[in-house]
């Protein structure tokens, strides 16, 4: 399965419905939104699965999204032979 379905109109409509509900119930300051696609992307069940994570300005990790976690030293790839050759 590809992730082309992520950009469908129904996905857009679903996101706005979820956002409206979360805004009304929790009044977050922002959101982190993510899809897991493919095994390397940590997709373990192969169906559409959207993560909508409300974020708040007073969180210890406010302003740090998914990219912050992905850029940690523990997540750096080992250099392959092709990467080390001139």
pLDDT tens readout for residues 4-53: 555 577 788 888 899 999 999 999 999 988 887 888 777 887 777 778 88
Q: Region 53-77: what's the mean pLDDT?
A: 82
In a domain, 84, yes or no: no
In a domain, 34, yes or no: yes
In a domain, 33, yes or no: yes
54, 28 contact by CB (below 8 A): yes
How far is 8 from 14, CA to CA, in rounded Å?
10
32, 65 contact by CB (below 8 A): yes
In a domain, 85, yes or no: no
**Closest residue by Cα to residue 52 from 30, 73, 83:** 30
Query: Reduced to 3 states, what is the DSSP secondary structure of residue 30?
Result: strand
65: containing domain: 28-78
**pTM given for the model:** 0.66
In a domain, 74, yes or no: yes
């Amino acid at each position: 399965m590809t992730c082309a379905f992520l950009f469908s109109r129904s996905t857009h409509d679903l996101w706005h419905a979820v956002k409206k509900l979360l805004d009304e119930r929790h009044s977050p300051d922002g959101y982190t939104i993510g899809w897991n696609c493919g095994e390397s992307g940590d997709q373990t069940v192969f169906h559409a699965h959207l993560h909508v994570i409300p974020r708040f300005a007073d969180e210890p990790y406010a302003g740090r999204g998914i990219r912050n976690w992905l850029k940690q030293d523990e997540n750096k790839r080992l250099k392959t032979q092709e990467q080390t050759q001139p």
